[in-house]
Amino acid sequence: MSHHTFRHRGVIKVRCLVESGELALCAAGGFCHFYFTLLCPIILCTMTKLLEWVFGVSLIGIAWGLVTFDLLDLQLPPRYKEVAWPMPIYLLVVFGCYSLATVGYRVATFNDCEDAAQELQAQIKQAKDDLKKKGLKM
C-alpha cells in the first residue's frame, strides 16, 4: 500500500492506494470529498459556512428527536423529555439574541473611511467640471 499526497481546490489530501486497485468516491460537488479505500478510510471535508451550519443544526435536531421521541428506547426519565421538548424554541431565541448582538456590535464598530470619502468627493467634482466643459448644465 502506498500513500500519495495531492492538492485539489487548495486543500491537501492524502489518498491511500490498495495493491489490487483504488476504491474512491467523491461526493457533493466540491464541498465534501469522501475517499474510501479498503484499508484506509479518509474523510476530508472542505465545508462552506452554510454546510457547517446545516451540519450543526442537523446534529442538534437528531439529538433532540432521539431524546424527545425516545427513538432508541433509552428509557430516559420523563424530566429529560420535558426539558428537551421546548429546546428548539429556546435555541431560536438564543440565536436571535446572538444575531442582534452581532449586528449591533458591527454597527457600533463600523469604521468611517474619511480618505475614501474625500477622494470620492474630488472625483465627483472633477466629473461635474468635465461635464460643464462639454456643455452640460446642472
Model pLDDT for residues 58-99, shown as the tens digit of each residue? 999 999 999 899 889 888 898 988 999 999 999 999 999 999
Per-domain residue ranges of the chain? 2-46, 50-108
pLDDT of residue 19: 40
If one compares 117 and 137, the residue with the highest pLDDT of the two is: 117
Model pLDDT for residues 99-129, shown as the tens digit of each residue? 999 999 999 998 888 899 999 999 999 999 9
The Cα 74–Cα 66 span in angstroms is: 9
- Helix runs in the chain, H state only: 49-69, 78-84, 87-108, 114-133
The Cα 98–Cα 102 span in angstroms is: 6
pLDDT of residue 101: 98
pLDDT of residue 46: 77
Q: How confident is the model at residue 31 (pLDDT cuts 50, 70, 90)?
A: very low
